[in-house]
Amino acid sequence: MKPFVSQHKVRFAHCDPAGIAYYPRLLEICDMAIEDWTESVLGVPRRVLHLELNLALPTVDLQATFSTPARLGERLTASISIGDVGNTSVALAMEISCEEDARFSVRYRQVLMSMAEARSIPWPQEWRQRLLSGFAEEAPE
C-alpha cells in the first residue's frame, strides 16, 4: 500500500527563539496530516465527521521518536502508512522528513468513537474497505 503524503511548513509559531520546533507543535502538525489523511482515506472531512456524523477519531495510544530537530522554515513531509485495522481502531505509522532526511516518527492507535455515546463503534463497511485497501491520494499543498 502506498503511504499517504502531506507537506507542512515549520512556522515561527512552532519554534523556540533558536528556531527549533517544539515537540508539542510538531504533534499539532501531525494532527493536521491525520486530518488530511482522514478526508482522503475515509472520504470524510473532519467537519462532517464531527459536526454531522457526531463521530470522532481520538488517539488512544501514541509513541514518538525524535531523531533530528525540525527548524524554522523547513518543509516537512509527513508519510502515513496504515498498520492493522481492528474492529473499531486503526494503527498508523507516520514518518516525518525534510528533503529525505528523517526528523521524527510517530506511531498512533486511533479509535472510531460515537461522541453521543462516548464509546468506540465498529467501522462502517465502506470505511473499513477503504482502510484495508489503503485508498489514498496525496494531500494538496
For residue 112, give the CATH number of its domain.
3.10.129.10
Q: Which three cell numbers stand for residue 44?
A: 470524510
Assign residue 13 a region (left: φ > 0; alpha: ψ between -120 and 50; beta: otherwise): alpha
Domain span at 89 = 4-133
In the prediction, which pLDDT does 1 show?
Answer: 73
The pLDDT score that the predictor gives to residue 2 is 86
**pLDDT for position 135:** 58
What's the total number of domains in the chain?
1
In a domain, 138, yes or no: no
Q: How far apart are CA 89 and CA 120, in angstroms?
A: 8
Residue ranges, the chain, pLDDT below 50:
138-141
The answer to whether residue 58 sits within a structural domain is yes
Q: Which pLDDT does position 30 carry in this prediction? A: 97
DSSP single-letter state for residue 128: H
The reported pLDDT for the residue numbered 136 is: 52
